[in-house]
């Protein structure tokens, strides 16, 4: 994408903003090799049924299957590296500590790139919870087959992620709303803007007259509303944007 494709007024707004919120989705990790969910050929939901893998009912029906699927994703994300988009956000935050990343991703790649204070709306693959008590469990053994059991109460352990039909962690939602409520600029990067409540966050900013930038190779429901909608891969556009800012 030629440099001129980032509009000058956007560069001005981004250079001036002290409080920036960057809402990210699966697309920001695509170039690290983590599949998205809804891309037609390569998305996880094109190959797997979320109702069989990412709901409390699915876990109740077949904890071993659900555990194995998340184990595969955990191992996959452990093998990949943060990409130029994750690193660009870290560079931007180091110059503008008021920048807050709010992510729907559970892959931990923002943190591994060095971004601080990441708000995880959908939990994290790196956490494991007791399915009965919901407490975090640090020490557990991976069984050859099936889901592991809680060392305290014997219930199955589950991944510390949010499944369809479950509420988001209250603290994360509150932190995201607070950040968006005081933001001067909001970016929506690599998300299909279809899953609530994350999808409504940019709208909150627009209602306050705060500019919203979308970075995505494809059109989404947010595109017509966004102040700027940049068609491109996050790992290409974000470094270009951040490197063009004269961040004093
Ligand atoms: P989706 O798979 O719904 O959307 C990924 C978006 O990334 C699409 O709009 C793509 O066009 C875009 N994309 C693909 N490659 C990209 C790239 N290189 N750079 C930038 N964008 C790119 O993923 P999410 O919006 O994150 O929830 O999905 C939201 C939630 O739905 C997920 O957290 C997950 C899923 O079901 C749960 O599992 C609860």
Q: Are residues 26 and 98 in the same domain?
A: yes
Q: Identify whether residues 25 and 136 lie together within a single domain.
A: no
Q: What is the CATH number of the domain that holds 205?
A: 3.40.50.1220
Paired tokens of 169: 């962690």
With contact defined as beta carbons under 8 Å apart, do 85 and 92 qualify?
no
Pairing of strands 157-161, 185-189: unpaired
What lies within 8 Å, CB to CB, of 212 at 6+ separation is 185, 186, 187, 188, 202, 205, 206, 222, 225, 226, 227, 228
Does 112 lie in the same domain as 44?
no
Residue range(s) defining the domain that contains residue 221:
1-34+82-122+168-248
Q: What is the largest CA-CA distance in the chain?
A: 59
- For residue 108, give every residue at least 6 positions away whose Cβ sits within 8 Å of its Cβ, in sequence order, or none: 77, 124, 125, 126
* Range 150-164 average pLDDT: 96
Mean pLDDT estimate for the chain: 94
Question: Are 226 and 180 members of one domain?
Answer: yes
Q: Are residues 183 and 106 in the same domain?
A: yes
Q: Are residues 172 and 237 in the same domain?
A: yes
Q: Encode pLDDT of 19-68 as tens digits.
A: 999 999 999 999 999 999 998 778 888 888 888 899 999 999 999 999 99
| 193 touches 202 (CB < 8 A) | yes
Instruction: Give the pocket of ligand 1 (CB within 6 Å).
Output: 25-27, 30-31, 36-39, 43, 54, 104, 122, 162, 164, 190-192, 194-195, 216-218, 220, 233-234
Domain count, the chain: 2
Task: Confirm whether 122 is a catalytic residue.
Answer: yes
Tell whether 110 and 134 lie within a shared domain. no
37: CA distance to ligand 1 center in Å?
A: 6
Give 3's pLDDT tier (boundaries 50, 70, 90): very low
Q: Tell me the CATH number at 67.
A: 3.30.1600.10
d(CA 218, CA 236): 14
Residues 220, 207: Cα–Cα separation, whole Å: 18
Q: Are residues 137 and 150 in the same domain?
A: yes
- The answer on 15 and 106 residing in a single domain is yes
Q: Which two tokens stand for residue 136?
A: 């975090």
Lowest mean pLDDT among 13-17, 41-45, 83-87, 116-120: 41-45
195 SS3 class: coil
Same structural domain for residues 44 and 16? no
**pLDDT score of 51:** 84
Determine the 3-state secondary structure of 5 from DSSP: helix
Residue nearest to atom 9 of ligand 1 (CA): 192
Task: Tell me the C-alpha distance between 116 and 126, whole Å.
Answer: 16
Residue 202: the pLDDT is 98
Same domain, 134 and 212: no
Q: Which residue has the tokens 């690599």?
A: 190
Domain boundary among 112, 136, 161: 161
Strand 157-161 with 123-130, pairing: antiparallel
Compute the distance from residue 27 Cα to the ligand 1 centre, in Å.
5
Q: Are residues 174 and 224 in the same domain?
A: yes
Q: What is the mean pLDDT of residues 102-127?
A: 98
- Please tell me whether residue 103 adopts helix, strand or coil conformation: strand
């Amino acid at each position: 994408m030629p440099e001129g494709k980032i509009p000058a007024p956007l560069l001005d707004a981004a250079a001036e903003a002290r409080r920036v919120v960057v809402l990210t989705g699966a697309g920001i990790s695509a170039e690290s090799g983590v599949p998205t969910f809804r891309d037609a050929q390569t998305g996880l939901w094109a190959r797997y049924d979320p109702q069989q893998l990412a709901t409390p009912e699915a876990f109740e029906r077949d904890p071993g299957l659900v555990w194995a699927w998340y184990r595969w994703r955990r191992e996959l994300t452990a093998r990949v590296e943060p990409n130029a988009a994750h690193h660009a956000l870290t560079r931007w935050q180091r110059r503008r500590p008021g920048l807050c990343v709010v992510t729907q991703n559970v892959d931990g790649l923002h943190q591994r790139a060095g971004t601080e204070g990441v708000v995880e709306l959908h939990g994290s693959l790196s956490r494991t919870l007791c399915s009965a008590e919901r407490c975090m469990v640090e020490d557990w053994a991976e069984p050859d087959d099936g889901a592991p059991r809680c060392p305290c109460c014997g219930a199955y352990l589950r991944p510390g992620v949010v499944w369809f039909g479950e509420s988001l962690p209250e603290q994360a939602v509150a932190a995201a709303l607070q950040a968006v409520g005081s933001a001067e600029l909001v970016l929506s990067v690599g998300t299909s803007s279809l899953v609530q409540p994350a999808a409504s966050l940019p709208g909150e900013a627009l209602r306050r007259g705060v500019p919203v930038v979308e970075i995505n190779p494809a059109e989404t429901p947010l595109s017509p509303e966004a102040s700027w909608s940049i068609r491109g891969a996050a790992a290409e556009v974000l470094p270009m944007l951040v490197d063009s800012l004269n961040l004093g």
